[in-house]
Amino acid sequence: MAMDITGIRNENEFYTHHYLSAILENDLKDVFSLWKRREEEKDIPQPHTLLRALRKDFFIRQSLLERERSTEERMNIQQEFTGKLLSALGYDY
């Protein structure tokens, strides 16, 4: 089954169409298997699940940033979200 790459924009043609349509899925197969195994064995959510869970928080914080005038408070809002985002991507913050 072909991987759904909806939303991946290749505007600068960094990757060839052939790579995106025929090779990318095979290159990522081991990574997806690892994520699935970790979820099943260790109850560690997959990155896409963690990212999806951040969408509401992202828009809330974006709205707060639009209204906030204090530079210090804007930095706090951004840092709180950045920590959650990096954690979802598997990085320590």
**pTM of the full structure:** 0.65
Dist CA 46 CA 53 (whole Å): 11
> How far apart, in Å, are the Cα atoms of 76 and each of 43, 54, 71?
31, 17, 9
pLDDT tens per residue across span 8-20: 777 777 888 788 8
pLDDT tens string 49-93: 999 999 999 999 999 999 999 999 999 999 999 999 999 988 988
In order, the DSSP letters of 60-72 are HHHHHHHH---HH
Distance CA 72, CA 9 (A): 35
Cα–Cα distance measured from residue 41 to residue 84, given in angstroms and rounded to the nearest whole number: 23
User: What does R_g of the chain's alpha carbons equal in angstroms?
Assistant: 17
What does the DSSP 8-state code read for residue 15? S
